[in-house]
Chain A
Amino acid sequence: MDYDALVIGSGIGGMESALKLGDMGYKVLVVEREASIGGKMILLSKVFPTLDCASCISTPKMAATIHHPNIDVLTYAEVEKISRDAGGHFHAVVRKNPRFVDEDACTGCQQCEMACTVAVPDQFNADLVARRAAYIAFPQAVPKKAVIDRPGTSPCTFTCPAGIKAHGYVSLTRSGEYEKAFNLILETTPLVGSLGRACFAPCEDECSRGSLEGPVPIRRIKRFIADTHYASGNPVGVEPTAENGRRVAVVGSGPAGLTAAWQLRLLGYGVKVFEAAPVAGGALALTIPAYRLPGEVVAQDVGNLVAIGVEIETNHRIDDLEALHRDGFDAVLLATGTPRAARLGVEGEDLKGVVPSLTFLEDAKLGRPQHLRGKHVVVVGGGNVAIDAARSARRLGATVEQVCLERRHEMPAFAWEIEEALAEGVALHDGWGVAALRGPGSVQAIELKRCTAVFDASGRFSPRYDEADRGELACDAVIVAIGMGPDTAGFEGTLAPRRNRTADVHPETLQGGVPYVFACGDVALGATMITTAVGSGRRAAYMIDRYLQGQEFDAAAFDLRLPKVEPEDVLRRQKSHSEKPPGASGKAITNQPSDFWEIEAPLTEEEAHYGAGRCLDCGVCSECHECVNTCPADAIHLEMRPETIEAQVGAVIVSTGFRLFPADLKPQYGYGRYKNVITGMQMDRLLAPTRPYNSVLRPGDGKVPDRIAYVMCTGSRDQTVGNPLCSKICCMYSIKQNQLIMGALPLADVTVFTIDVRTAGKGYDEFYVQAASMGTNFIKGRIAGIRERENGNLIVRYEDIEHEGATREEEFDLVVLAVGVQPNLDTQALFAGDELAHDAYYYVAETDEDLSPGETSIAGVFVAGAAAGAKDIPESILHAGAAVAQAAAYIEGMKVGV
């Protein structure tokens, strides 16, 4: 047996249970879900009826628990399942959630907290203030070790095909750390400026803000970051690893090849990129029109590679990969993209004036003369490249008609691209196929036939035509943009092409038939998006490194993204959020575009800041890596994952505590809508020695409250919220707060609205009498509703029962809702096999409350504290004592085989 007892939960009941069992000589395992032991008590101000400081009572118990020779503590861990094994012992499965911080290395210095760029409500301060995503639970935390709050990966980052930390650079931008944001993107790719313009931004489609007023302008923020960096003239802020003597050749300088080259050079390889075209950049430099992505921006991005020592040779076509290997390259990466244009296969295709789109776009981008002014151009195709061609032709002075097989809603081009093309004067003829091109000599006309269906029943491309339905457009030129493919001719020996002519490499490792040859990007994937190609290049670099190091290919470590955080969950957890106008698109579209100036305006710093400020921090941690870079102990490891720990235990003590009633379920009290309506727990935080405002202030405007009202029985003794039970603790904690308030704010008037004052317990009624004599005004009467005035004050409407039952209204500065207690439902699914019985109100049932309080429906399982029903601290401690006495008896009984 690993432990005599398992204690679940380390609030006051759990700690008391563990300490007493440990003192008796039993080995105890404590499992605590939060990052620190201590439960709710450590968060309180003082405790009734002795007015001891809660910290002073809790901290020695916390320290004693963690230092006890018989007690092991697992924090940030959850018991997943407990079953009974054949020998009658319990078998517990515990999930140790990753802190993403090495507990042994962390010194609790809090530098990560200060570096962190994400702020979220601090649950340990009852959401009154913010904490960081990297944080230490509270000042007296045990263990005092940081934790990185990462419930999952933010949807934007999760979606990015390149693996760029989108949330990370947004949060850095929000913090004004533009250069750090630039460097964060450099961790993935050097093509910051290019992606900031030409990426199709799937991140924005996933943005949780999208369902509110529109997504965060993530792509344009990236452009802002790039523009800011390049304008600053700062050198590249990354230091490549010193060259290790091994060399890699990269064939092709598109987004995939350049990203791979970048990564490999950072890892210490000597890298040389071969490019057939006169400029580096592939599609970025050649075919994406300058009005979307200026050539200078691509050149700046390429400059990053050059700056860290990547060699790039243009005008150098490679036909023989083996030759490169012979020339001393340890690995060769093919990244030549899809330069081969698809043909129409119709009569007249070779007429003069019929050009493939890639040739046309390249000529346009490189400024080669085209002579289209006043000409009539027909663009064939329905994809993004066709749109690029059409809009480029408009800019060269042509009238442009676009023909495509698909109906408009079926077109593969992005809807916004189509809209912009139409706005720029492109005439669209959708649902037409090309029957023939007519001369003579050069093309004069294009003959069309009605396309009746583009795809067959299974969704495959298989166009059908109504040959009888014909049309014809006169034209001076035709640009064909109906697809493109890889050009793998010549590499058959090393990379047998697949049927679609893509290089045949392993889909995960990207390794070809010859071990030193890899391929990435479109040459391996077929035509994709540039961002996908970037991701493929990054993967190739990782795999080549593994290959050259002689390590196993381990794809899991390549991508450290956690499961996606769902936007619905993000929106649900928002206490409140304002709808902020998303800002203008920044695009200048005219009907007569006449030049290749970028049509999209850059974000101003203010706009970038504003846009980033709308981020909801879905995954909490943005993966901006500031903590990783800051930690002096190298203690932060974002690659940590949950661990499963299994233990055989003799007895189990369930001390999972309680939840507080969510006050927004009583909408007539306005909690969540009126800032100066707070809960009892929030008031306790305001009064605690570690209080967030260092004074009792109301949260709405920081005013010192003069008139404070307490609404008792919020969520208790209330059939309308399904809880007829009395919560036992609220009268006393409110009266405690009354006394503390009168100490902190001697001039404040405190009024308590109550049904009955329930101060039954040793010294409790005397405590109540004391509060009344200090000046607390107790009024018997329930609150009908609360209204907020413009100045934030609150009008409380109540029935004054002791004074003829008159309905009255009174104004207060601050209203405290004395929220009650609810069961913690997590105990429901704790046990497999045996059923842990619960009472009608979902507390753990005590099967023999009269003689064996703490005993449950499962032999050997005991319940301690408020998990079995509302209890104050003294009662929880006694209850834990009772549970321990019986657990010890059970353990002793097992030893002698009773």
Chain B
Amino acid sequence: MTARRIGVYVCHCGGNISDYVDVDRVIDAVKGEEGVTVARTAMFTCSDATQQEIYDDIQSLGLDGLVVASCSPKLHTLTFRGVAKRAGLNPYRYTQVNVREQCSWAHTDDREGATEKAIRLVRAGIARTALLAPLDPTVVETVPKTLVIGAGIAGLRAAIGLADIGLSVVVVEREAELGGRVQAFGPMYPNDKEGSELIGQLVEQVRRRESIAVFTQAEVVKKAGSFGNYVVDIRTHSSSSMTMQLSVGSIIVATGFADYQPAEGEYGYGIDGVVTLPEYKAMLDAAKGPLVRDGRPVRDVAYVYCVGSRQGDQGPNQYCSRFCCSAAVHASLQLHEKDPAARQYHLYRDMRTYGKYELMYQESREQGSLYLKFPEGEPPAVAKGADGRLLVTVRDQLTGQKEVGIAVDLVVLVTGMVPRENRELVKALKLPIGRDGFFNEIHPKLRPVETVVDGVAICGACQAPKSSSESVMSALAAVTQSAAILRQGRAELDPQVATVDADLCTDCGDCYDVCPYDAIAPQEMAAGRKVAMINPATCKGCGGCAPLCPAGAIDLQGYTGAQVVAMIDGLAREVV
């Protein structure tokens, strides 16, 4: 082994690590490891000051390898690769050792054990680093074009935003009309803008921009290629079905939501006069004055909140649907405007008119709406009354737990949003789905509109329940994210991908099928011999192929067989 010059930095993380791991002991234990030139601790390794210290060490000590033992690689691998790069060290000669999530936090009751584990983890990191070769990222030219999937309010706004920053846009919409759900709405909270008017404005803007191409009655069926240069298949089925292929640099998914559909009998759903919030909203938007239903005036309305949301053990949906409290309160204001004499009863669990939407809640109470809080696990019951009206029974926590019977003409089930069925698209794009069934971002703060699929962003209510303006906000954030990549004209791809040793490969074909990214294909070599070739732009470095290769011809850059064995040796050696 050639003499390496490795710098090792063990982080206190303020106490997140050092409260449970004796970091000074870790340093003592590893500073004598072969190849280690410098070993230090730091209060916050990620802080700018310590980054500067590492930078200085790399330069003044001529380090050729770097190990930081701190938190999860998910958080800071890029941070320290950046430090290495700034200081002139190949960023792929860096190893992040996780002594927080996988050590200090996991062993808060065992300082001795945690310290010993940390020593082993750091040793493994050093062993790997000693064998790391410099790698250069694969650079791809990016296509300055974005595919927007879904032409609801979020998708349309995203398309306009992208075009205004100088990118070409392709909008694909499954329906025949643009505008999605908002198109159908009358006045919406909080500014009482008509949904149809907002969509009208956006459609007009889209039409005026030559750089936006719109395909309706179209669906994305396939995605190939790599980040910065995806090739997507779009199938249209307007008059005749046809498939076309497009090159795009990035993709924004804005496919929206579906309404929660109550089951028959759920809060009386199915009884005449029991409607969902969207049904009620349509009635309100259509009404010119007081509501009339089947020729009978609607004088009393009860709203039952949280239908299909926060279901606990009553159903699959554990999440709060966020928009519905405000939407229902807004609907009650809308009814009051049309019929000031209407009596309105709101049966709720927690009123979540967050932020300035609180003002609507306040106004609604001032107008005479009555709010009754029902207990968890004891929801209101809706039944057909003797007089043909509806009887809602509820225990009101605000008036001494009294059971109250309310005779009403209409019961509005304040239903929430649910994820939209999009199996084909999910499959085509490999979109990640969260526990709640909505599409998942990588990290709500660090990368709030990005998915684990590079270059594929999500926005609007396909990500989580959102109000219309919140959807627009996230759409513009997705625009920013896409533009930040595509405006640079090029993208660097992680070079830690699989490679094939052509001399060893027997073209058995096992790896072709196992690759989830279709990155491996046989290639004709001289003398009619075929070997597996891996496209570095499409390979994600998942490592699925390497252990499968019977000839041992595949190695994963950055995690070669030799490196992994060295790491295991480092882990296994006794701590004395």
Which residues of A are at the interface with B, using a C-beta cutoff of 8 A? 12, 20, 23-25, 47, 49-50, 52-53, 55-57, 59-60, 62-64, 66-67, 108, 139-144, 688-691, 694, 717, 724-728, 756-766, 769, 780, 801-805, 839, 841, 849-854, 869-870, 873-875, 877-886, 888-889, 892-893
**CB-contacts of B371-424 with A (<8 A):** 373, 375, 397-401
- Tell me, yes or no, whether B342 is within 8 Å of chain A by CB: no
Q: How far is the CA of A489 from the CA of B423 in the complex (A)?
A: 108
Is B469 at the interface (CB under 8 A from chain A)? Answer: yes
Indicate if B538 sits at the interface (CB-CB under 8 A). no
Report B6-60 residues with CB < 8 Å from chain A CB. 13-16, 43-44, 46-49, 51
**Interface of chain B residues 451 through 503 with chain A (CB within 8 A):** 463-464, 468-470, 472-481, 483-485, 487-488
Residues B351 and A851 in contact, CB atoms below 8 Å apart: no
Asked if B295 CB lies within 8 Å of chain A CBs, one says no
B190 at the interface (CB under 8 A from A): yes
Do B44 and A140 touch (CB < 8 A)?
yes
Q: Is the CB of A762 within 8 A of B464?
A: yes
In the assembled complex, which residues on chain B have CB atoms less than 8 Å from the CB atom of A142? 47-48
Chain A residues with CB under 8 A of B319 = 762-763, 765-766
Q: Are A892 and B166 in contact (CB under 8 A)?
A: yes
**Complex CA distance for A758 and B358, rounded to whole angstroms:** 11
Interface-lining segment among B237-245, B438-446, B542-550: B438-446
The answer to whether residues A59 and B47 also contact, given A726-B353, A765-B320 and a CB cut-off of 8 A, is: yes
- B47 with A885: CB separation less than 8 A: no
Contact A724 B483 (CB under 8 A): no
Is B443 a contact of A50 with CB atoms below 8 Å? yes
User: Which chain A residues border B397 with CB–CB below 8 Å?
Assistant: 780, 801-802
Given contacts A20-B480, A50-B445, A66-B48, 13 further A-B contacts (CB under 8 A): A56-B13, A139-B44, A140-B44, A144-B47, A726-B355, A726-B356, A762-B436, A763-B436, A780-B373, A850-B191, A850-B198, A850-B472, A869-B356
B46 & A761 in contact (Cβ 8 Å cutoff) = no
Q: How far is the CA of A878 from the CA of B397 in the complex (A)?
A: 37
List, in ascending order, chain B residues with CB within 8 A of A759's CB.
320, 352
Q: A820 → chain B, closest Cβ, in Å?
A: 11
Could you write out 8 A-B pairs with CB less than 8 Å apart?
A59-B79, A60-B76, A760-B321, A761-B320, A765-B310, A850-B193, A850-B468, A878-B448
Assuming A53-B16, A804-B401, is B480 touching A885 (CB within 8 A)?
Answer: yes
Kindly list chain A residues whose C-beta atoms are within 8 Å of the C-beta of B86. Answer: 67
**Inter-chain contacts of B448 with A (CB < 8 A):** 874, 877-878, 881
Chain B residues 153-167 with CB under 8 Å of chain A are 157, 161, 164-166
Give Cα A851 to B470, complex, Å: 10
Instruction: Tell me whether A52 and B165 are in contact in the complex, defined as CB-CB below 8 angstroms, given that A756-B350, A760-B352 are known contacts.
Output: no
| A834 CA to B166 CA, complexed, in Å | 28
A802 — nearest CB in chain B belongs to which residue? Answer: B397
- In the complex where A689-B13, A769-B318, A851-B472 touch, is A881 in contact with B79 (Cβ < 8 A)? no
Pick from B75, B373, B469, B488: contact of A849, CB below 8 A: B469
Interchain CB contact under 8 A, B350 and A758: yes
Q: Is B523 an interface residue (CB 8 A)?
A: no
Q: How many residues of B contact A (CB 8 A)?
A: 86
Q: How far is the CB of A109 from chain B (nearest CB, A)?
A: 10
Nearest residue, chain A, Cβ from B86: A67
Interchain CB contact under 8 A, A50 and B48 = no
Tell me the nearest residue of chain B to A874, going by C-beta: B444
Chain A CB within 8 A of B71 CB: yes
The distance in angstroms between the C-alpha atoms of A888 and B164, with both chains bound, is: 8
Q: For A728, list chain B residues within 8 Å (CB).
A: 354-355
Residue of A nearest to B202 (CB): A851
Nearest 6 A/B pairs, CB to CB: A689-B14, A881-B477, A889-B164, A882-B476, A765-B320, A762-B464
Cross-chain contact B76 with A25 (CB below 8 angstroms): no
A140 x B164 contact (CB < 8 A) = no
A63-B46 in contact (CB<8A): yes
Chain B residue at minimal CB-CB distance from A690: B14
Asked if B512 lies at the interface with its beta carbon under 8 angstroms from chain A, I say: no
Interface contact B191-A849, CB-CB below 8 Å: yes
Tell me the B305-361 residues at the A interface (CB within 8 Å).
310, 312, 318-322, 325, 350-359
Q: Using a Cβ cutoff of 8 Å, how many contacts connect chains A and B?
A: 242
The answer to whether B477 and A877 have CB atoms under 8 Å apart is yes
**Complex CA distance for A56 and B188, rounded to whole angstroms:** 39
Docked-complex contact B358 and A717, CB < 8 angstroms = yes
**Distance (whole angstroms) from the CB of B103 to the closest CB of chain A:** 15
- With known contacts A769-B318, A804-B400, A59–B480 Cβ distance under 8 A: no
Establish whether residues B484 and A53, one from each chain, have CB atoms under 8 Å apart when the complex forms: no
Q: Could you tell me the distance in whole angstroms from the C-beta of A855 to the nearest C-beta in chain B?
A: 10
Contact A63 to B436, CB < 8 A, known contacts A762-B444, A881-B477: no
If A56-B76, A726-B358 touch, whether A24 touches B310 (CB-CB below 8 Å) is no
A247 to chain B, nearest CB (A): 50
- A765-B310, A889-B164 given; A726·B354 CB < 8 A: yes
Contacts of A66 in B (CB 8 A): 48
- Establish whether residues A766 and B318, one from each chain, have CB atoms under 8 Å apart when the complex forms: yes
Any chain A CB within 8 A of the CB of B138? no
Q: Is the CB of B198 within 8 A of A878?
A: no
In the complex, what's the smallest C-beta–C-beta distance from B299 to chain A, in angstroms?
28
Contact A882 B473 (CB under 8 A): yes
User: Whole-angstrom distance between the alpha carbons of A434 and B435 in the complex?
Assistant: 103
B449 interfacial contact with A, CB 8 Å: yes
When C-beta atoms are compared, the residue in chain A nearest to B484 turns out to be A23
Report how far A889 CA is from B211 CA in the complex, Å: 14
Instruction: Give complex CA distance A888, B356 in Å.
Output: 28
- B201 at the binding interface (Cβ < 8 Å): yes
> Is A143 a contact partner of B48 (Cβ separation < 8 A)?
yes
How many whole Å from A866's CB to the nearest CB in chain B? 10
Distance (Å) between the CB of A750 and the closest chain B CB?
18
Residues of chain B within 8 A (CB-CB) of A59 are 44, 46-48, 79
Shortest distance from the beta carbon of B201 to any chain A beta carbon, whole Å: 7
Chain B residue nearest to A877 in the complex (CB): B448
- Known A-B contacts A690-B14, A760-B322; A841 and B356 likewise in contact (beta carbons under 8 Å): yes
Cα of A883 to Cα of B16 in the assembled complex, Å: 35
Residue pair A765, B318 in contact (C-beta under 8 Å):
yes
**How far apart sit A892 and B163, CA to CA, in the bound complex (Å)?**
10
A-side contacts of B438, CB under 8 Å: 762
In whole angstroms, how far apart are the Cα atoms of A813 and B51 in the complex? 41
Chain A contacts of B475 at CB under 8 A?
Answer: 882
A63 and B165 within 8 A (CB): no
Chain A residues with CB below 8 A from B444, complex form: 49-50, 762-763, 874
CB of B362 closer than 8 Å to a CB of A: yes
Let me know if B352 and A758 touch, CB within 8 A: yes
Q: How far is the CA of A53 from the CA of B74 in the complex (A)?
A: 13
**Residues of A close to B193: CB separation below 8 A:** 850
Partner of A889, one of B161, B350, B488: B161
| Cα A886 to Cα B51 with chains together (Å) | 33
Contacting pair B356 A881 (CB below 8 A): no
B-side contacts of A766, CB under 8 Å: 318-319, 435
Complex CA gap A691/B201 in Å reads 51
Cβ-closest chain B residue relative to A12 = B445
Find chain B residues with CB under 8 A from A873 CB.
445
Give the shortest distance, in Å, between A735 (CB) and chain B (any CB): 12
> Which one of A757, A805, A849, A870 lies within 8 Å of B400 (CB-CB)?
A805
Docked pose: A717 CA to B362 CA in angstroms: 9
Q: Which residues of B contact A56 (CB under 8 A)?
A: 13, 46, 71, 75-76
Does A108 contact B350, Cβ atoms closer than 8 Å?
Answer: no
- Nearest chain-A residue to B446 (Cβ)? A57
Contact: A53 with B483, CB < 8 Å?
A: no
Q: Enumerate chain B residues within 8 angstroms of A143, measured Cβ to Cβ.
A: 48
Q: Are A760 and B354 in contact (CB under 8 A)?
A: yes
> Distance in Å from the Cβ of A722 to the closest Cβ of chain B?
13
Shortest Cβ distance from A25 into chain B, in angstroms?
6
Closest beta carbon of chain B to A512's beta carbon, Å? 55
List of A residues within 8 angstroms of B463 by Cβ: 762
B352: chain A residues at CB < 8 Å are: 756, 758-760
A-side contacts of B480, CB under 8 Å: 20, 24, 881-882, 884-885, 888
